[in-house]
């Protein structure tokens, strides 16, 4: 589930020159300080640059010019440039709580979370009432460093001083996604809704029910979020997830399509819709969506789903193997990915030694009937009749209605000379699946 994150970004105060400046720079200072954001960013940046380059101001005022230029860079999210200016301002002696808070924000947005924590701590040491720094440090602990205990401690201190919906939401996130304490999370979200009935809170509240497996109640929450704000992308996307979990494939596709109308590059919506198209055997559309999702970011789930599209939809085992291998390399402990990498090779009679390594890893993680069935097929390919029978037998014991494994056990028994036993399994498998013999014929393996 996608969570709604709240960054440390907040209002950064203006800084005026500390003493009377050179008269010829008065107009530049007005633009550089840019109180009320009267001027465009480029105008303010150029004015600050002119003051710095003039080399006639005091060192203290040059530091202030750097700080203000950093503030302007931050306005357009040019965080590397902002950091350069904040660093220089602090080096030159501009070291109040605001300068450390501003640099902490730039470090946070640059994903330098340890440095952000240090700056927010310095800001609080200079001004214990710098509550945005306290909230920023909590965010860095939670969203950056994943230290949920320290994050909650800071949120607790923050909420003891002020109560805003955003503060409750962020602490709720720490309880929900970090501590898995859903009771406290929902209490925080409920309090946030009392303070500000916005769609984002409703989404997080829905995520609680989704995590509990109560998809119908989650859907109710996402519906409420959508009513509050039809452009809240998380509400629409997660509503699609809930519909998918409730087997409403058409409804899920509609919501993921609506999500992409809000954000065409929402990779998770593309990946999910691609998998939904695959489930409907709309393989060409599935491939388009999965390709687009993977072009935005590499994701093991989408790689695996694209592999399934190649394997079962487009009958292209070579490309399927490439995707399954990449998915397994990204998540080597995922038994499903390892099994797919084995199964496709076994069907296509390719790299059987590599296939065995994948099958063994999958079975070591989970004695699943499908995984045993895959290795059974692999053993048949390598004429290991007894090993094949053992795997198919274990698969059937795990799932008596597994027609594929029962048919494989029948072929294995025949290879071992156990004719009556083999014929009985073949007949039972055909009773479970009338097309099972044709499937095995496609492998080139017949009784």
Q: Report DSSP state, residue 181.
A: -
H and E: helices and strands count for the chain: 25, 0
State the maximum Cα–Cα separation within the chain, in Å, rounded to a whole number.
106
Instruction: Note the pLDDT of residue 15.
Output: 84
> Does residue 332 fall inside a structural domain?
yes
Over residues 131-139, mean pLDDT: 97
Cα–chain center distance at 272: 13
Q: Identify which of 240, 278, 247 has the alpha carbon closest to the alpha carbon of residue 261.
A: 240
> Does residue 255 fall inside a structural domain?
no
Query: Of 195, 221, 247, which residue sits at a domain end?
Result: 247
In terms of domains, do 18 and 133 share one? yes
Over residues 223-240, mean pLDDT: 95
Specify whether the CB–CB gap between 135 and 39 falls below 8 A. Answer: no
Instruction: Note the pLDDT of residue 11.
Output: 53
In terms of domains, do 48 and 126 share one? yes
pLDDT tier, 38 (very low <50, low <70, confident <90, very high otherwise):
very high
Specify whether the CB–CB gap between 97 and 76 falls below 8 A. Answer: no
In terms of domains, do 109 and 236 share one? no
In tens, the pLDDT along 83-131 reads: 999 999 999 999 999 999 999 999 999 999 999 999 999 999 999 999 9
> Does residue 278 fall inside a structural domain?
yes
The dihedral sign for the CA sequence 229, 12, 86, 29:
positive
Instruction: Note the pLDDT of residue 24.
Output: 78
Q: 1 pLDDT exceeds 50?
A: no
In terms of domains, do 231 and 281 share one? no
In terms of domains, do 140 and 42 share one? yes
Rg value, the chain, Cα: 30
Over residues 413-434, mean pLDDT: 97
| Domain, as residue range, for 186 | 163-247
> Does residue 253 fall inside a structural domain?
no
In terms of domains, do 298 and 348 share one? yes
Q: Report DSSP state, residue 35.
A: G
CATH code of the domain containing 328: 1.25.40.10
Q: 3 pLDDT exceeds 90?
A: no
What secondary structure does DSSP assign to 95-133, as a single string?
-SHHHHHHHHHHHHHTT-HHHHHHHHHHHHHH-TT-HHH
In tens, the pLDDT along 235-267 reads: 999 999 999 999 999 999 999 999 999 999 999
Q: 5 pLDDT exceeds 80?
A: no
pLDDT tier, 44 (very low <50, low <70, confident <90, very high otherwise):
very high
> Does residue 156 fall inside a structural domain?
no
Q: What three-state secondary structure class fits 349?
A: coil
In terms of domains, do 139 and 1 share one? yes
Q: In whole angstroms, what is the distance from residue 70 CA to residue 52 CA? A: 13
Q: Quote the crossing angle between the two packed helices 300-308 and 283-296, to the nearest 10°.
A: 160
Q: 446 pLDDT exceeds 70?
A: yes
Please, what is the average pLDDT of the chain? 94
Q: What angle do CA 227, 233, 237 make, to 5 degrees?
A: 90
> Does residue 171 fall inside a structural domain?
yes
The tokens of 211 are what? 């995590």
> Does residue 371 fall inside a structural domain?
no
In terms of domains, do 79 and 207 share one? no
Q: Which residue has the higher pLDDT, 253 or 3?
A: 253
Query: Of 83, 111, 145, which residue sits at a domain end?
Result: 145
Total count of domains within the chain: 4
Query: Of 191, 216, 247, which residue sits at a domain end?
Result: 247
Q: CA dist 260 to 5, 47, 243, 324, 345, Å?
A: 19, 41, 16, 26, 35
Instruction: Note the pLDDT of residue 246.
Output: 98
Over residues 404-427, mean pLDDT: 97
CATH code of the domain containing 428: 1.25.40
In terms of domains, do 131 and 4 share one? yes
In terms of domains, do 292 and 330 share one? yes
In terms of domains, do 5 and 138 share one? yes
In terms of domains, do 427 and 308 share one? no
Over residues 138-159, mean pLDDT: 98
Classify each residue of 320-334 as buried b or exposed e, where b means 16 or more C-beta atoms within 10 Å of its C-beta.
bbbbbbbbbeebeeb
Beta carbons within 10 angstroms of residue 418's beta carbon: 16
Q: Identify which of 14, 10, 24 has the alpha carbon closest to the alpha carbon of residue 94.
A: 14
> Does residue 206 fall inside a structural domain?
yes
């Amino acid at each position: 589930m996608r969570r709604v994150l709240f960054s440390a970004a907040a209002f950064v105060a203006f800084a005026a020159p500390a003493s009377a400046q050179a008269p010829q720079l008065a107009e530049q200072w007005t633009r550089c300080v840019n109180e009320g954001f009267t001027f465009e960013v480029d105008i303010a940046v150029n004015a600050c640059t002119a003051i710095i380059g003039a080399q006639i101001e005091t060192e203290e005022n040059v530091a202030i010019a750097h700080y203000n230029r950093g503030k302007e860079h931050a306005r357009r999210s040019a965080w590397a440039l902002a950091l350069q200016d904040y660093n220089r301002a602090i080096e030159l002696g501009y070291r109040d709580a605001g300068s450390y808070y501003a640099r902490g924000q730039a470090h946070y947005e640059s994903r330098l979370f340890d440095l952000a924590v240090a700056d927010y701590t310095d800001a609080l040491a200079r001004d214990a009432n710098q509550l945005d720094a306290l909230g920023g440090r909590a965010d860095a602990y939670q969203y950056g460093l994943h230290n949920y205990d320290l994050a909650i401690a800071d949120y607790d201190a923050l909420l003891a001083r002020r109560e805003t919906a955003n503060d409750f939401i962020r602490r709720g996130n720490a309880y929900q996604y970090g501590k898995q304490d859903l009771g406290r999370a929902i209490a925080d979200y409920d309090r946030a809704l009392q303070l500000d009935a916005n769609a984002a809170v409703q989404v997080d509240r829905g995520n609680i029910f989704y995590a509990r497996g109560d998809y119908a109640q989650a859907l109710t929450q996402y519906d409420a979020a959508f009513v509050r704000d039809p452009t809240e992308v998380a509400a629409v996307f997660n509503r699609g997830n809930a519909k998918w979990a409730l087997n409403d494939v058409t409804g899920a596709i509609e919501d993921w399509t609506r999500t992409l109308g809000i954000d065409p590059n929402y990779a998770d919506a593309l990946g999910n819709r691609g998998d939904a198209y695959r489930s409907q055997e709309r393989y060409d559309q599935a491939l388009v969506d999965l390709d687009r999702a993977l072009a935005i970011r590499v994701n093991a789930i989408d790689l695996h789903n694209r592999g399934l599209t190649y394997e079962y939809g487009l009958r292209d085992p070579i490309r399927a193997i490439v995707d399954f291998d990449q998915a397994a390399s990204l998540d080597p402990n995922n038994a499903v990915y390892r099994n797919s990498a084995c199964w496709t090779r076994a069907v296509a009679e390719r790299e059987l030694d590599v296939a065995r390594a994948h099958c063994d890893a999958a079975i070591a993680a989970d004695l699943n009937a499908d995984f045993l069935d895959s290795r059974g097929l692999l053993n048949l390919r390598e004429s290991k009749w007894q090993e094949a029978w053992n795997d198919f037998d274990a698969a059937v014991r795990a799932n008596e209605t597994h027609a594929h494994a029962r048919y494989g056990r029948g072929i294995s028994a025949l290879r071992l000379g156990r004719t009556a036993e083999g014929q009985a399994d073949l007949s039972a498998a055909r009773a479970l699946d009338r097309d099972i013999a044709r499937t095995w014929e496609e492998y080139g393996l017949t009784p």
